[in-house]
Amino acid sequence: MQLFEAPNILERLRHNYIPSDVEIHAIRESITIAQSRIVALQSGPPTETEGLSKYVALYSSLISPIRRLPVDILQTIFLDPIAHRRLRPGGFTRRSIIVDYRPNYLGAVCYHWRCLSLETTKLWSSLVVSPNQTDRNTVGGLRLALQRSQGAPLYLKFHPAMTGSILDRETIEEVLKHTERWAHIDLTTNAGLLRQLSPARHRLESLDTLTILHSDSYEYLQQYPSELFAEPPMLRTLRVTKLPDSPSAVPILPWSQLTQLCIHVDWAGGPPSTGAYYYMLSQATNLREYDVYLPYATEPGPHPIISHHLKEMCVTMKVDVLNHSTAPALEKLALVHCTLTSAVPSFLDRSSAQLQTLEMDGASVRAVDLVSLLRMVPTVRRLVLRKLLPNAVTNLVLQSLTIGAFPLDQVLLPMMTSFLLDGGYLFKADALMSMLESRLTPPDEFSQLAAIDIRISLMVVPAARLQNFAIAAKQAVEAFSFVSLNEARTAVAVDFRLGLLDAVFGSSRRLIP
């Protein structure tokens, strides 16, 4: 039987030609025939199978599903930070601002990808400016990347090779030509490099995000040119990984403009400066988002800090930072790897905020304290309990959320519409199912549970009950995911879960983000 032969196969591969359905069917049959012939000729000379192997490789590439992806989808994949492995985990403001894309690697895949990567200006707008003369850090590579970025906002990381190193004159001149496009700056630098950047002052009209990493940056910003970042009209986000030694060393910034502050102090720097910490918070009077990770306990601040506009707060490790803070407009509170202490309920009591989202990730809390905490936030609509200690979520907690287990005025979170539970806990499966079922068709005083994501290992729920729950959920739940894994029957349980999801939503099932 004759193999399918497409005219100009190499040219078609080069230009991302998409074969028709009839051609795809014929090519698949030909590939099967070619593979059969290869098997039959295995005992013969390698030269007899080389042509067939090349045929299989070429035509398999021609019908590859990725060739059918639209251009906009491919560009989205090109720009995905996870694909480039430069995404920092945790927190809602902890994502790295610099994603060091590798467009040269993408362009080496095929001619079509090369053309597309050259057209994707954002691929060329993320640059590491360093004395290391490698890759795009050469003057020629930098100039070419800036040309290909075609006016897109620039993501710049100023990263020294070693203490005291500076950029060569051509490199700094090339970068300074585009100061009006500097949107994100990641500053890991020293006094010499900061001095080189001084001409950028008054010209940072597009700067939106500034990150100051662990270095001697504070000490130099306190001196000349101390007002390098004092005037960017669009600056809204500040991220720091080292606190200054004192309030006087805090850099001059347009603090009242900032809407997002991320303070992530590493362990190596020793206990942070409490004075500088509270000073920065007191100056940033218009924050909307605040993400703090301090591995050491903080001393009380000199004055109470009231953040009137703060909407989202993420606290990692030490919750004592809440002791002298008040946020009356807070809508989202995330507690990550914390031990729940009196600081949290005291903060909530002072703030009297209409909290909409409560997330607890890896936090240490007892069931009785969790119940008390939930009782303080009746306005919460989205509850996330992820990887807590086993004794954090017990029958007591679930019963307190179950409509009908107690008088209606004693049931927790009457407005809850979204529930995510992940981990291994000391409760009975029946308690969980009863709570979920009671929330699917609640009385008028309660909101209907519309998004469920349960990820519990080593929990066995009778199939009949899960099926009944799926029938009820089909009409009530917008997003549904249920993982109930018995360690001895993992594969069967997963298959059943997928079947259950199909029963609820068909092929268009959706999960909680």
> Rounded to whole angstroms, what are the CA distances from 344 to 212, 325, 463?
29, 10, 40
pLDDT at residue 491 in the model: 33
Q: Quick check: helix, strand or coil at residue 255? A: helix
Q: How far apart are CA 76 and CA 387, in angstroms?
A: 31
pLDDT at residue 1 in the model: 56
- Mean pLDDT of all residues in 331-355: 94
Contacts 24+ apart (CB under 8 A), 20-29: 24/63, 27/59, 27/62, 27/63, 28/63, 29/4
Contacts 24+ apart (CB under 8 A), 103-109: 103/78, 103/148, 106/78
Q: How far apart are CA 437 and CA 477, in angstroms?
A: 11
Q: Quick check: helix, strand or coil at residue 230? A: coil
pLDDT at residue 49 in the model: 80
| DSSP code, position 58 | H
Q: How far apart are CA 369 and CA 143, in angstroms?
A: 58
Q: Quick check: helix, strand or coil at residue 264? A: strand
The pTM of this model reads 0.78
End-to-end CA distance of the chain: 51
Q: Which H or E element spans position 187?
A: strand 182-187
Grade residue 511 by pLDDT with cuts at 50, 70 and 90.
very low
Q: Is the pLDDT of residue 386 over 70?
A: yes
- Nearest Cα to Cα of residue 472 among 428, 504, 430: 504
Lowest model confidence (mean pLDDT) among 84-88, 239-243, 336-340, 414-418: 84-88
User: Number of H helices and number of E strands within the chain?
Assistant: 17, 16
- Which CATH code fits 356-513? 3.80.10
pLDDT at residue 247 in the model: 81
pLDDT at residue 220 in the model: 53
CA atoms within 13 A on the CB side of 84: 20
Q: How far apart are CA 161 and CA 171, in angstroms?
A: 14
Judging by beta carbons within 10 Å of its beta carbon (0-12, 13-18, 19+), is residue 305 exposed, middle or buried? middle
Q: How far apart are CA 97 and CA 81, in angstroms?
A: 10
pLDDT at residue 501 in the model: 47
Q: How far apart are CA 243 and CA 266, in angstroms?
A: 10
Token pair belonging to 426: 């000391």
pLDDT at residue 321 in the model: 87
Q: Of 78-92, 232-246, 351-365, which has the strongest mean pLDDT?
A: 351-365
Beta strand extents in 256-412 (DSSP E only): 260-264, 289-293, 305-306, 312-316, 325-326, 332-336, 357-361, 382-386
Choice between 188 and 211, residue whose per-residue pLDDT is larger: 211
What's the pLDDT tens digit per position in 99-142? Answer: 667 787 888 877 888 888 899 998 899 888 876 554 455 788 88
What's the pLDDT tens digit per position in 316-325? Answer: 888 888 988 9
Beta strand extents in 307-406 (DSSP E only): 312-316, 325-326, 332-336, 357-361, 382-386
pLDDT at residue 154 in the model: 94
Q: Where are the domains of the chain?
A: 9-68, 92-234, 236-331, 356-513
Q: How far apart are CA 228 and CA 507, in angstroms?
A: 55
CA atoms within 13 A on the CB side of 206: 14
- Nearest Cα to Cα of residue 466 among 504, 428, 425: 504
Lowest model confidence (mean pLDDT) among 35-39, 242-246, 387-391: 242-246
Judging by beta carbons within 10 Å of its beta carbon (0-12, 13-18, 19+), is residue 33 exposed, middle or buried? middle
Grade residue 478 by pLDDT with cuts at 50, 70 and 90.
low
Q: Is the pLDDT of residue 457 over 60?
A: yes
Lowest model confidence (mean pLDDT) among 180-194, 298-312, 461-475: 461-475
Q: Is the pLDDT of residue 505 over 50?
A: no
Judging by beta carbons within 10 Å of its beta carbon (0-12, 13-18, 19+), is residue 435 exposed, middle or buried? buried
Question: Helix 111-119 and helix 71-78: axis angle, to 10°?
Answer: 70
Burial 38-73 (b: 16+ CB within 10 A, else e): beeeeeeeeeebeebeebbebbeebbeeebeeeeee
Distance of alpha carbon 227 from the chain centroid: 32
DSSP string computed for 415-436: T--EEEEEE--BS-HHHHHHHH
Q: How far apart are CA 169 and CA 100, in angstroms?
A: 23
Grade residue 235 by pLDDT with cuts at 50, 70 and 90.
very high
Q: How far apart are CA 512 and CA 418, in angstroms?
A: 8
Judging by beta carbons within 10 Å of its beta carbon (0-12, 13-18, 19+), is residue 140 exposed, middle or buried? exposed
Q: Is the pLDDT of residue 472 over 80?
A: no
